[in-house]
């Protein structure tokens, strides 16, 4: 990564942290510049206004998530192990990029300023489709029962993940590890598991 890329990423991460703490309206480009240790013109060099900067942070978070999902999709693991990987990928994003993750958590909670052009539902659809495919394949290969609602299971999974994220950011409780990811997935999968399924060797 060159100096220009480093500067841009530093501005994005700093802005994400300030937006998450103070909100969009209460955050100024001047403060972002000061906290990023760059000049105000430097911020405007990369981002024409605060709205575009906000949108770029959302896009950066989606890029991180998409890269992780592509790696999971390429593996030949059973569905339940792919679900472990999905949860761990989300946990990893939080631990590796806490500023971006906290910002994203706030955005997903509905804190989106008026005029932001990023359509989260559209942007997140490929991620939801990917998770749906994992679970559907688990049903097709016999890992999971065929008589449960996939979307309801997905809501439960995301709700559980978001609870751990909330505890991490608001209560400073770090349970973002593989053991917790497996416990989370296993607890949910227990309800949809096919008791007659035998894993191929």
Spans of all domains in the chain: 61-189
DSSP string, 22-87: H-STT--HHHHHHHHTS-HHHHHHH-SSHHHHHHHHHHHHHHHHHHHHHHHHHS---HHHHHHHHH
- What pTM does this model have? 0.79
Q: What was the pLDDT predicted at 189?
A: 85
**DSSP label at residue 177:** S
Q: What was the pLDDT predicted at 82?
A: 93
Q: What was the pLDDT predicted at 10?
A: 92
Integer Cα distance of 171 and 105 in angstroms: 14
Q: What was the pLDDT predicted at 11?
A: 95
Alpha-carbon Rg for the chain in angstroms: 19
Q: What was the pLDDT predicted at 27?
A: 92
- Dihedral angle over CA of 72, 77, 83, 85, nearest 10: -50
Q: What was the pLDDT predicted at 115?
A: 65
User: Mean pLDDT, 10 residues at a time, over the chain (201 residues)?
Assistant: 81 93 90 95 94 89 83 89 91 87 80 68 82 92 91 91 88 88 87 69 51
Q: In the CATH hierarchy, which top-level class contains the domain 61-189? A: mainly alpha
Q: Which residues pair with 44 in a beta bridge?
A: none
């Amino acid at each position: 990564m060159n100096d220009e890329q480093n500067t841009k990423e530093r501005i994005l991460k700093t802005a994400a942290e300030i937006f998450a703490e103070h909100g969009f309206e209460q955050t100024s480009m001047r403060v972002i510049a000061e906290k990023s240790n760059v000049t105000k013109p430097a911020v405007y060099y990369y981002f024409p206004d605060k709205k575009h900067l906000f949108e770029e942070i959302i896009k950066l978070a989606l890029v991180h998530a998409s890269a992780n999902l592509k790696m999971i999709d390429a593996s030949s693991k059973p569905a339940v192990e792919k679900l472990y990987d999905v949860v761990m990928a989300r946990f990893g994003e939080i631990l590796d990029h806490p500023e971006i993750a906290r910002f994203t958590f706030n955005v997903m909670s509905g804190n989106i300023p008026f005029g932001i052009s990023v359509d989260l539902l559209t942007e997140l659809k490929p991620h939801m489709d990917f998770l749906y495919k994992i679970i559907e394949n688990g049903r097709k290969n016999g890992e999971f029962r065929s008589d449960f609602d996939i979307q309801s299971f997905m809501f439960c999974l995301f709700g559980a993940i978001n609870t751990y994220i909330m505890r991490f950011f608001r209560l400073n409780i770090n349970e973002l590890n593989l053991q917790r990811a497996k416990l989370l997935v296993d607890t949910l999968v227990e309800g949809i598991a096919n008791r007659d399924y035998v894993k191929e060797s």
